[in-house]
Chain A
Amino acid sequence: DAGITQSPRHKVTETGTPVTLRCHQTENHRYMYWYRQDPGHGLRLIHYSYGVKDTDKGEVSDGYSVSRSKTEDFLLTLESATSSQTSVYFCAISGQEFYNEQFFGPGTRLTVL
């Protein structure tokens, strides 16, 4: 299995508070992604990174920001959490090319009250 961990695995927070989710990999992969999974929508890309300090938006990026200061870590921040951001968040990694196989972390279940 690819070495990907996510923290925290579960979080409950209140509307308006900032939240940061962490993805950590031990594979030295270039690409890292954040997806969210919601009933009726499947998995959708939030943001992705193609290298240290190189990030870009996905299809559902509003309300989220990301940072990647090291190859192994990719952080997802909800600046001011809303109930619509209640979801399961998955981090994924892939190799040196964008079309390489992607491997997913275990997910973080976030509830915004």
Chain B
Amino acid sequence: GIQVEQSPPDLILQEGANSTLRCNFSDSVNNLQWFHQNPWGQLINLFYIPSGTKQNGRLSATTVATERYSLLYISSSQTTDSGVYFCAVVGGTSYGKLTFGQGTILTVHP
């Protein structure tokens, strides 16, 4: 099946710093999503981005499907950005099954 790798596994920032999270995937995808899992366990949708670029406030994402990677940019980080960021994809023949990466654990210190 499709493989999803995220980097870095851990990231520690001071409030106000910028960061880039990367997601590499091993095959063509029909769907790519970025999620934030907050400290209470909720999975919050950030972007649905199988290709192209999107922005939402301080967050933006780019997926280059032909090169099989996606990037999530967080600017001017805040303590509330802390949590785990997941990239997940639906491969070409996977009937909607989201395959998740192992996540990036982000800690933002005040």
Residues 93-113 of chain A, each 1 if its beta carbon lies under 8 Å from chain B, else 0? 010001111111011010000
Task: Give the size of the chain B interface in residues (CB under 8 angstroms).
Answer: 22
- B100 near A43 (CB under 8 angstroms)? yes
B7 CB-CB contact with A under 8 Å:
no
Residues of B within 8 Å of A42, CB to CB, are 86, 100-103
Chain B nearest CB from A85 CB (Å) reads: 18
Task: Give the size of the chain A interface in residues (CB under 8 angstroms).
Answer: 26
- A interface list, Cβ under 8 A from B: 31, 33, 35, 42-45, 48, 50, 56, 58-59, 88, 90, 92, 94, 98-104, 106-107, 109
- A48 near B96 (CB under 8 angstroms)? yes
> Which of B1, B33, B95: most chain A CB closer than 10 A?
B95
B52 CB-CB contact with A under 8 Å:
no
B31 CB-CB contact with A under 8 Å:
yes
Residues of B within 8 Å of A94, CB to CB, are 96
B98 CB-CB contact with A under 8 Å:
yes
- A45 near B43 (CB under 8 angstroms)? no
Chain A nearest CB from B6 CB (Å) reads: 10
Chain B nearest CB from A83 CB (Å) reads: 21
B41 CB-CB contact with A under 8 Å:
yes
Chain A nearest CB from B30 CB (Å) reads: 4
